[in-house]
A and B are shown apart, each in its own frame.
Chain A
Amino acid sequence: MSPISTPAIMLRRVEYGDYDLIITFFSLYRGKISLIAKSAKKSTKRFSGILEPFSVLQLVYSVSRRKGLPVLQEASLIKPFSNIRLDIKKMAYAGYMAELINEWVEEKVEQASTYALFQYALEALDQSDMHEDALSILFQMRFMGLSGFRPNLNYCSLCRTRTENIHQQQIVFDLTKGGLVCDKCLSAASKQISLSKGTIKQLLWVERGDLRKATRIRFSSLALQEGLAFLEAFVPFHLGKEPRSLQFLKQLRK
């Protein structure tokens, strides 16, 4: 088969044998792909210094007719995001986003919108365009929406009363129902998180607003705190486990 060329963001790498690497990329045209980079650990010329997590690369790889991983033939650096590597907090957030994509996204299925979101988030992180916590909220809200797990913040999941018509200022979000539950419908079930109306409004804006204007949004400290607590419970609940990078982030915040 003729070689395939695509821009891609590196998600993770695993050492394979003494000289090779198995690398997982999130590519623009082929979605998530795993490639083997032969002699990547040994050669100082072929892939020198560019096979690093979160870098945007232009890849050329070939798929064999026989069994086995596609082989990475060529890689050139488009964006290294050098500032992410110099800040542990930025790296932790980038790692969390990369892990969500790695865990969630189906292999070999093109997902251009998710790719654009990931690249946007890495650029904003690199350039410090947004506070890391606000950026994480934006990424998680949009990523869950694109993955078909958009949290219902518009109306009560049971009686369908619209959020603006619910009288209380703090509204409960029920993880098992995937949406808000008003006071009248509220049962003593577990896995509930409280969100203020102001936070809900901001979460809805970052999920639907124009991505190019997203850097303008200013979260209040309460909205940041509530939004992060909500999403960092909502995402692992649907993923079925707590991502390791989220545990790392929590350790770092201590």
Chain B
Amino acid sequence: MRYYPSPIVNLISNISKLPGIGQKTAERLALYILRAPKIEVEQLSRSILEVKERIRLCSKCFALSDKPVCGICNDHSRALNMVCVVEQPADMVAVEKSGAYRGRYHVLQGVLSPMDGVGPENIRLRELMSRITEEKITEVVLATSTSVEGEATSSYIADRLKKYPVKITRIASGIPMGGDLKYVDEVTLKRAMDGRYAV
């Protein structure tokens, strides 16, 4: 790297710290930044700083937000009595993209995992319980992942919610659209068969 001046070496080394970016890609990106118009580079650096300075967790649902309460929690056109429980902010974005749900969310910020030492006190469970009474929630949709940890978290929450007068639902799991049956695992196929419907 001696053949590059030190500011470029620093830039390459910082870019290569990003996930999925190796030395060669970092070098290519650094040279692109060098050639790009100054205004474009300023916008990039400003947006990186802005993300660090302004993004926080919504005080109600714990999704990513630039305000104390996020846009979805502030949107009164959505179903106010429904809450969809997800593991991470990215899961909430995935459900939103589907357009199939119009209620509110609750981001647990993790999932119960005995071997990683993540217990009920380490995720946003207590906050979910308070929201159910405070916001008069009537339905809780459990949309944690279908991994062992996600399933166990979902059953644990369902168990804890039994004492509340709410309808508890779990997202369905089965064959993906365009999926090839012979590549689907036995557990998913069994669930798909159990959940079959009349046509």
Q: A residues near B, CB below 8 A?
A: 12, 17-18, 44-45, 48-50, 52-54, 77, 80, 82, 84-88, 91-92, 95-96, 98-99, 102, 244-245, 247-249, 251-252
A92 / chain B contacts, CB cutoff of 8 Å: 114
Q: How large is the interface on B (under 10, 10 to 19, 20 to 34, 35 or more residues)?
A: 20 to 34
Give complex CA distance A91, B159 in Å: 15
Q: Is the interface of A mostly helix, strand, loop or mixed?
A: helix
Nearest chain-B residue to A102 (Cβ)?
Answer: B115
A248:B187 contact, CB within 8 angstroms: no
A86:B155 contact, CB within 8 angstroms: yes
Contacts A244-B116, A244-B117, A252-B120; A85 near B19 (Cβ below 8 A): no
Asked if B184 lies at the interface with its beta carbon under 8 angstroms from chain A, I say yes
A91 / chain B contacts, CB cutoff of 8 Å: 112, 114, 148-149, 152
B19:A95 contact, CB within 8 angstroms: no
Asked if B40 lies at the interface with its beta carbon under 8 angstroms from chain A, I say no
Nearest chain-B residue to A90 (Cβ)?
Answer: B152
Of B112, B147, B180, B183, which one neighbours A88 at CB under 8 angstroms? B112
- Most chain B CB within 10 A, of A52, A244, A248, A249, is at A248
Nearest chain-B residue to A80 (Cβ)?
Answer: B187
Within 8 A of A (CB), among B139-180: 146-149, 151-153, 155-156, 159, 176, 179-180
A245:B115 contact, CB within 8 angstroms: yes
Of B115, B159, B179, which one neighbours A95 at CB under 8 angstroms? B115
Nearest chain-B residue to A93 (Cβ)?
Answer: B114
Contacts A247-B117, A247-B119; A52 near B152 (Cβ below 8 A): no
Smallest CB separation, A241 vs chain B (Å): 12
Give complex CA distance A179, B112 in Å: 36
